[in-house]
Amino acid sequence: MSWIKFTSAYVDGSWKTPFFVELDDDGRIMNTTSMHQGPVHESHSAYLISGVPNGHSHSFQYVMSGLSERVAPGRVDDDFWFWREQMYRLANAISPDELLSITTRLYCSMLEHGYTSVAEFHYLHHGEGGANYPRATQMAEVLFEAAEQAKIKLTLVPVYYNQAAPGLAIKQEQKRFYFKDTDRYLKFIEETTALAKVRFPSATVGYGVHSLRAAPLEDIKLILSTPWTQGPCHLHASEQIKDVESFVSAYGVRPIKWLAENTPLGARHNLVHATHLIPEERQLLGKSGATVVLCPTTEANLGDGIFPFLDYHRDGGSWSVGSDSQVNLNPFVEMAAPELTQRLLDQKRNVLVSDEAYISGDILFNAALTGGRRSVGLDEASYAVGSLFEGVLIDPDHDRIYGRPLDSILSILCYAPERDLIKCVYSEGVLNVVEGRHRLKTDSSLYRKSLKRLLPLITSSSG
């Protein structure tokens, strides 16, 4: 057992100075207090904040970040659907060993940036061309192993993928994602849950549907209407205008309205993006208790559109942030992006503030933390007794931080972000990031070996 001292800590919406945490030998919290007179075994000159939950990640896409920012000569139009073609090439090429090396490296980087938990949206279920692996859960095992090595709290969300679009059979390039029916998918969920229980007990298993275009309505209703695991339920929804238009054309109703009227949307459910909402859908979603997972830098990169952030927030809607395609790994950039977009639209500043909550960074952080914990399926509050200790240590001597009042710290993180503001990170009860660098970053050989094979497959056909 040991006591750790921090200069200050942001706890339950306010700063505590000083702050002490007592840990058992496994790194679990036994006590927290601002008043401790006994011996201290470890002391940090740092400001402690909760680690941020990453509500949506496709780890394999880390390889292609920045490589799709060109078009072929003679083609001036580019959009999500062209980007998806390049992404499919990578998705169909990556091997289990390559996924392990890439995901481990990525998860280490997530921790360096302040994420301490992640919901991994998983659909690389099968081998090349849809061939079965010797073990159905082989790619899931890889993701569990990567999280265990990096020491990030993983919520694995294996999702159902059954069709290319409403009424259209699966395409060749989607066969790696494919389940023939819900029975086979639910069996896979059972097998994955059993695997986690035995070999990766700190991980959580969720469930869901890839998107509203990727499954028949009766399958979506079945999967979303029952808590198949202890974890959260996720799906992409209304990301692109084309998604909405094709759904309306096929079924005669808007997608979010259909979900609200035909599934028991609630605190367990997470809708990724939900970009294109009309006011009725926005209000239905806000009242449902479901969480919208916003991935602003990815959404901007892909040209998705602009989520009605201010109105949704004022409706009391729950939201979290995610790194999605990994073009940005700083969670505070993701938090600030919707507010900054709203400022541009309204030509005003600090658009979220009210008489009750008047510090923008605090509002963003509190909302992203609350919604994020729902997105990864964490029920207990930050620093709950019995939980493995996790936290992000901010450097009080950094040029952007030194001398500033405590109540400006979260706003500085959001609106003046720099990589080296984060000094150290605890995750899974262990100090894993020291002086800004993860302990596993000393060896990059396996990661670089994976890049050597995969990058030519992406870049040879891009643009």
Which of 122, 234, 273, 438 is flagged as catalytic? 273
The residues near 286 (Cβ < 8 Å, ≥ 6 apart) are 312, 315, 316, 317
Instruction: Report the alpha-carbon distance of residue 181 to residue 176 in Å, rounded.
Output: 14
Q: What confidence score (pLDDT) does residue 73 get?
A: 82
Residue 457 predicted with pLDDT over 80: yes
Q: What is the pLDDT of residues 109-153, one digit of tens each?
A: 999 999 999 999 999 999 999 999 999 999 999 999 999 999 999
Read off the tokens for 10: 């942001």
| Whether 12 is catalytic | no
What are the backbone dihedrals phi and psi of residue 306, each rounded to the nearest 5 degrees, phi first? -120, 120
Read off the tokens for 419: 């990589």
Confidence of residue 461 (pLDDT cuts 50, 70, 90): low
The residues near 454 (Cβ < 8 Å, ≥ 6 apart) are 63, 90, 93, 94, 98
Residue 455 predicted with pLDDT over 70: yes
Instruction: Report the alpha-carbon distance of residue 193 to residue 114 in Å, rounded.
Output: 27
Q: What confidence score (pLDDT) does residue 379 get?
A: 86
327 closest CA partner among 303, 347, 343: 303
Instruction: Report the alpha-carbon distance of residue 420 to residue 185 in Å, rounded.
Output: 43
Q: Which helix (H) or strand (E) holds 410?
A: helix 409-415
Confidence of residue 463 (pLDDT cuts 50, 70, 90): very low
Instruction: Report the alpha-carbon distance of residue 110 to residue 108 in Å, rounded.
Output: 5
Which whole number is the average pLDDT over 218-238?
98
Instruction: Report the alpha-carbon distance of residue 461 to residue 463 in Å, rounded.
Output: 6
Residue 161 predicted with pLDDT over 50: yes
Which of 219, 243, 304, 324 is flagged as catalytic? 324
Q: What confidence score (pLDDT) does residue 68 get?
A: 92
Q: What is the pLDDT of residues 22-63, one digit of tens each?
A: 999 999 999 999 999 889 999 999 999 999 999 999 999 999
Residue 99 predicted with pLDDT over 70: yes
Q: What is the pLDDT of residues 195-206, one digit of tens each?
A: 999 999 999 999
What would the DSSP string read from start to end of 115-181? EEEEEEEE---S-GGGPPPSSTTHHHHHHHHHHHHHT-EEEEEEEE---SBTTBPPPGGGGGG--SS
HSE-CB of 429 using CA atoms within 13 angstroms: 18
In this structure, the number of other CB atoms found within 10 A of the CB of residue 279 comes to: 10
- H helical segments located in 47-137: 80-93, 96-113
Confidence of residue 316 (pLDDT cuts 50, 70, 90): very high
Q: Which amino acid is at 11?
A: V
Average pLDDT, the chain: 96
Chain-centroid distance, C-alpha 284: 23
| Whether 273 is catalytic | yes
What the chain holds in terms of domains, given with CATH numbers, is: 2-49+391-427 (2.30.40.10), 52-376 (3.20.20.140)
Q: Cα-Cα-Cα-Cα dihedral of 190, 192, 195, 199, to 10°?
A: -140
Query: Tokens 């601002």 belong to which residue?
Result: 34
Q: Which helix (H) or strand (E) holds 414?
A: helix 409-415
Residue 404 predicted with pLDDT over 70: yes
Q: Which amino acid is at 374?
A: R
Residue 462 predicted with pLDDT over 60: no
Read off the tokens for 364: 């963003």
Q: What is the distance between the terminal CA atoms of the chain, rounded to a whole angstrom?
A: 57
Reduced 3-state DSSP string for 324-380: ECCCCCCHHHHHHHHHHHHHHHHCCCCCCCCCCCCCHHHHHHHHHHHHHHHHHCCCC
Read off the tokens for 366: 């509190």
Higher pLDDT, 462 or 58: 58
